[in-house]
Structure 1
Amino acid sequence: MWVPDYKSKPGRIYVAIADAMADDVTTGKLRPGDRLPTHRELAWRLQLSVSTVSKAYALAARRHLIEGEVGRGTFISSRASDISRLEPNRAQSNLIDLTFNCPVQLPAQEQAMASALRAIADGPRLPLLLPYHRDWVGMPEHREAAARWLSARGTTTFADDVVIVNGGQQGVSVILSALIEPGETIAAEELTDPGIKFLAANRHLTLRGLPIDAEGLIPEAFEAACRSGPLRALICCPNHQSPTLAVMPVERRKAIADIAVRHDVLVIEDDVYGGFLEHALPSIASFAPEQSYYVTSLSKIVCPGLRIGYIATPPGRAKDLIPGLGATTWMASSLSAEIAYRWIEDGTAEKLAHLQRDELRKRQLLAAQSLAGQSFRSLPSGLHLWLDLPETWRAESFVAQIRTQGVAVTPAEAFVVGHGPSRHAIRVSLGGATTSRAELQKGLDILAGLLRGRPAASYVVL
């Protein structure tokens, strides 16, 4: 029987129980499909009233952590691990965090931001940035700068076909809200970012995982999915795919584009990681411009607090996304968009991207030295590693045991679409969740030491 460790948590008891449940989902102590005790059973075990436990379960259900089946009981939801990873983990605050794929905060970002804010405050354009802009898709000069940024990264587009959004995640959300109806089926790589899984579930879409290999999505698998039943859209990450780090070859991009056109399937190209590559490759959208929505962001590679992203739509289709904008934030922050516009125009954006890649190269070298002899995949300036565990380990046991040594990593299961088995691998983030290279080095040393060891007796499943 699951028993929550809630007594050390502040606040009302029922909230503390729900918080403890979220923590146990994050650590793997509770997994999707696990059956929970009945309200009465847990109340008896905790010596609490049934109403208190009922409130805790009701709160957990509102957080999408649990779901009930009449006649069978209450179970951890298939969405639970995705939801829990989208919020700060209270149990992780004292750990070396190698789970969160965020860029490194650099002094140059702070200097550039301070300079931009002063220039805007002292300049003539400030009054233009304060009111609503009722075309919603962005101010013309901001869209023109975005088109130049996108074109330099493999997607030739025009200002009229660009939509300004609050980061890549909102960009995908806007597209799904505007163009995909609840109940429709969309596809993604069989290992995909938890944020994509969350968006699909939140929109009540059926998400189908498609097979991948070392070069990303397999075109034949996409073709088979298109033939097997109605498929409305494909969400695909061809550059620095998370978690596998696959970079799709150009010929495969052409093949995916051709299949999408022949079967009339929308392509939502998620390229928030593309900036970590030294040299841009042509996007899938460049081979199927009438069929594709290309999404990227400055958040990962330039400055996360800016919260500005761009969507390149098919020609003449930008205003089709207004319903999606209206369902979220109506318009992106004009102030943030102005800073992005200035940084693109004066070269600051590219300079900050270069500095970010340079810092990550140094962190990748630290990881390569610490993990020598282990099986992992990396990119020269990538934001994370994808590490296969030795045969002695299972991912859930490894993640649980390394937490006891003060380090958090993400198991492969977090990225699995559907209920299929996951490989015994972990994603190791090297970015800004560790505030210094010294802290990162400490975490990597602990990781390397545990990889060379064997599971403790308490973590062996018989």
Structure 2
Amino acid sequence: MDLHERARARCHWLPDLTGRTGARYQVLVDQLAADIASGQLKPGDRLPPQRLLADALEVTIGTITRAYREAERRGLVEARVGSGTRVKGTTEQPPDFHHLSRAGHDSIDLSLSIPIPNPLRQQQLAAILQQIASLPTAIESALTYQPEQGSPLQREQLCQWLNAQGLMLLPEEVILTEGGQHADFLALQALIKPGEAVASAALTYPGMIAAARQLGLKHIPVPMDREGIRPDALERLCQQQRIRLLYLMPEYNNPTGLSMSQQRREAIVEVARRHDMLLLEDGVQFVTPDLRGTPLFELAPERALYIFSASKLLSGGLRFGALRAPSNLMPQLRVALRAQCWSSPGLMGAVTCQWLAKGHADPLLHWHWDEVRTRQKLLHEVLGQYNLSSHPCGFHGWLQLPEPWRAADFVKLADSRGVTLIAAEPFCVGTQPAPQAVRICVTPPASRERLQEGLERLAQLLHDEPPLMPPLL
């Protein structure tokens, strides 16, 4: 055996590059990505040493070094001293969202999708609590056990408010939950069996990823374009396997900020009907009526569920939400919710519905939407020269980093300059390679001035040259 044959015999992974055109290192990376996606290479698998693979493929070691470096930049592998280059695992945990308690005084948080701080929020909550305390019937109602579907009065009050926002819901088709994440988990647990498949955009809300994993569901990523989920890609996946439910955010995807046109929504509904697939629309990222498209429960009421939450409007601490569902699915949802927590807390529902009723929250909400739009304009003024996507009512923007930046390096260096960000990994479904991108939230800073300071630090960082990458071993 000659040198090349001996090297090939020792390589546990040997890509076939026969007949492939293009730069050899790029062809190698593309084949690596394909083998990871197919499951031939699994998280934690070690790639052959660079010299060995170079001999086996009869290319220069420089080609292999460049390929491994590009694969690491694309989030496919990670190189560590002493352990070589390994396929990147999917065990990274989403941020615990308590990092602010460990941050320095000068740290500017642009990582959390939360309502903009405003003293009016606390003032209104205090007033609402006083109103409830002055009504004996309200106190008594809040202290009693609630029906599984939630208080009829609270469901009626909530639907009246949602109707005024252009979301035409009926109290009997709504079940109250402990926030949007609970509604997400409830729908999956009640309607999908362990081992069955659900799908979502390849980049999606980490809470959905966690819920599907916790329930033992097969979570399939759907390729995306400038409007999010591609109907043609969804159709192909449905032809290959049975997908029971599609989770999506038509108004604006978290994290990419992409919105779906009316034509895109109708195309997805067609695919769902053709393959008898449920649609779970997450409306937690609430938008104003003038910017909202047609909700999927209007296009396909027989199969579409809709999630509402007060977290982005009033306060995440209230833990109050709702799930709209077709009438034939409501019995399963009621049984599942009763097994989980019996019912949503009456007091939280009373506070939220009273706050929204009769225009009590209007001054806060009007200020909130005006401020969010202004902050989105500021985001684009400072970083608009880069590949940035967002929604006018969005709490965040999605920045695809220019070459040769890697997201992990950018987040780390931003932190060293007092700005906290989240990279793409927590939003990636399955073994989907993480893009070199970061989510930038515009809502956590208490003032526009503080936000602008954080954005300008990021702009300066982007202007600077990224640090030199250490050589791979």
Q: Same fold (TM over 0.5)?
A: yes
1:132 aligns with 2:178: no
Please give the per-residue CA displacement for 1:81-111, whole angstroms capped at 9, x wherever unaligned. 32xx134237852232211111112222112
In structure 2, the residue corresponding to 1:232 is in which secondary structure? strand
Q: 1:457 to 1:328 in 2, by over 3 A?
A: same
Higher mean alpha-carbon deviation, 111-120 vs 436-445, is at 436-445
Q: Is the 8 A contact 1:192 1:416 kept in 2?
A: yes
Q: Of residues 178, 193, 205 in structure 2, which corresponds to 1:193? A: 205
Q: 1:107 to 1:35 in 2, by over 3 A?
A: farther
1:347 Cα offset (Å) = 1.7
1:439 aligns with 2:462: no
CA distance in 2, matches of 1:393, 1:106: 35
1:316 Cα offset (Å) = 4.8
1:109 aligns with 2:110: no
Q: 1:197 to 1:255 in 2, by over 3 A?
A: same
Question: What aligned pairs does 1:305-324 form with structure 2 within 5 A after superposition?
Answer: 305-324=317-336
Residue type of the alignment partner of 1:264: D
Counterpart for residue 15 of structure 1: none
Q: Is the 8 A contact 2:286 2:312 kept in 1?
A: no
Counterpart for residue 427 of structure 2: 415
In structure 2, the residue corresponding to 1:352 is in which secondary structure? helix
Counterpart for residue 340 of structure 2: 328
1:341 aligns with 2:353: yes
Q: 1:414 to 1:336 in 2, by over 3 A?
A: same
Question: What aligned pairs does 1:61-460 form with structure 2 within 5 A after superposition?
Answer: 78-82=90-94, 85-89=95-99, 93-94=103-104, 95-124=107-136, 125-133=138-146, 135-275=147-287, 278-432=290-444, 434-457=445-468
Q: 1:308 to 1:281 in 2, by over 3 A?
A: same
1:442 Cα offset (Å) = 2.1
Please give the per-residue CA displacement for 1:182-218, whole angstroms capped at 9, x wherever unaligned. 1111000011011111111111111000011111211
Where in structure 2 are there 5+ consecutive unaligned residues? 1-41, 47-85
Q: 1:183 to 1:231 in 2, by over 3 A?
A: same
In structure 1, the residue corresponding to 2:343 is in which secondary structure? coil
1:296 Cα offset (Å) = 1.4
Residue type of the alignment partner of 1:321: L
CA distance in 2, matches of 1:459, 1:409: 23
Q: 1:366 to 1:241 in 2, by over 3 A?
A: same
Please give the per-residue CA displacement for 1:128-159, whole angstroms capped at 9, x wherever unaligned. 110112x2211111111222333345543211
1:260 Cα offset (Å) = 1.2
In structure 1, the residue corresponding to 2:439 is in which secondary structure? strand
CA distance in 1, matches of 2:188, 2:452: 40
1:378 Cα offset (Å) = 2.3
CA distance in 1, matches of 2:425, 2:349: 36
Please give the per-residue CA displacement for 1:32-76, whole angstroms capped at 9, x wherever unaligned. 94699xxxxxxxxxxxxxxxxxxxxxxxxxxxxxxxxxxxxx998
Please give the per-residue CA displacement for 1:409-430, whole angstroms capped at 9, x wherever unaligned. 1112321112132322111011
Give the paired residue count.
390
CA distance in 2, matches of 1:226, 1:350: 43
Higher mean alpha-carbon deviation, 151-160 vs 105-114, is at 151-160
Residue type of the alignment partner of 2:333: L
1:349 Cα offset (Å) = 3.8
CA distance in 1, matches of 2:209, 2:234: 18
CA distance in 2, matches of 1:98, 1:132: 40
Please give the per-residue CA displacement for 1:355-395, whole angstroms capped at 9, x wherever unaligned. 21112123223322322422211222320111121112121
Counterpart for residue 28 of structure 2: none
CA distance in 2, matches of 1:367, 1:114: 33
Higher mean alpha-carbon deviation, 403-412 vs 320-329, is at 320-329
Residue type of the alignment partner of 1:148: Q
Aligned-pair Cα RMSD in Å: 2.5
Greater gyration radius: 2
1:281 Cα offset (Å) = 1.9
Q: 1:353 to 1:90 in 2, by over 3 A?
A: closer
Q: Is the 8 A contact 2:124 2:361 kept in 1?
A: no
Please give the per-residue CA displacement for 1:235-278, whole angstroms capped at 9, x wherever unaligned. 11111211111111112212212221221111111111133564
Higher mean alpha-carbon deviation, 438-447 vs 138-147, is at 438-447
Q: Is the 8 A contact 1:416 1:422 kept in 2?
A: yes
Q: 1:126 to 1:316 in 2, by over 3 A?
A: farther
Q: Is the 8 A contact 1:165 1:331 kept in 2?
A: yes
In structure 2, the residue corresponding to 1:300 is in which secondary structure? coil
In structure 2, the residue corresponding to 1:328 is in which secondary structure? helix
1:335 Cα offset (Å) = 1.3
Q: 1:262 to 1:351 in 2, by over 3 A?
A: farther
CA distance in 1, matches of 2:211, 2:400: 28
**Which TM-score applies when normalising by structure 2?**
0.77
Residue type of the alignment partner of 1:149: W
Please give the per-residue CA displacement for 1:277-332, whole angstroms capped at 9, x wherever unaligned. 64332111211111111111111123222221111110353332123313432221
CA distance in 1, matches of 2:164, 2:131: 26
